[in-house]
Structure 1
Amino acid sequence: MGKELLARGFEELDLHRIYATCDPRNVGSARVLGKLGMTWEGRHRHTTLIRDGWRDSELFSILEDEWRAIQRVT
């Protein structure tokens, strides 16, 4: 599903950069974003207020040329 979303963004929508965020405690989501070729850019502090308090977000992104390079290899 993630590969298809990136393909649509870069091929159909002609985007230059795609980014995603996840909760720092969700290691599985961060691992998936990394496997898609996305680069960890950092942590945004206190981005979402949830019932038990403020939550941080991990930020990942991929650029079009990075994505195209991955497509040539696979």
Structure 2
Amino acid sequence: MTEVVKRIIELGLNQMDLVRIEARCHPDNVGSSRVMEKSGMQFEGLLRKSIYTKGVHQDLKMYALVR
């Protein structure tokens, strides 16, 4: 999965000329966090109560890569 994310990031930066790419995941989703970190994204913080799912407000971890 990390290779796929790296290629998507490459496409966004090189072909689409994006300046910022960001991704979010549930704090308990260790696998997704590791993929983002291994892809060069940096943890920016916790978005507290940022989504409402299954009747509960939940936090999200925010990762980003800036050119």
> Normalising to structure 1: TM-score of the pair?
0.81
Distance 1:8 1:28 in 2: 23
Q: How many residues align?
A: 64
Richer in strand (by share): 2
1:56 corresponds in structure 2 to 59
Shift of 1:25: 0.7
Richer in helix (by share): 1
Runs of 4+ aligned residues of structure 1 deviating over 6 Å after TM superposition are none
Root mean square deviation, CA, Å: 0.9
Shift of 1:8: 0.9
Greater RCO, 1 or 2 (C-alpha within 8 Å, sep 6+): 2
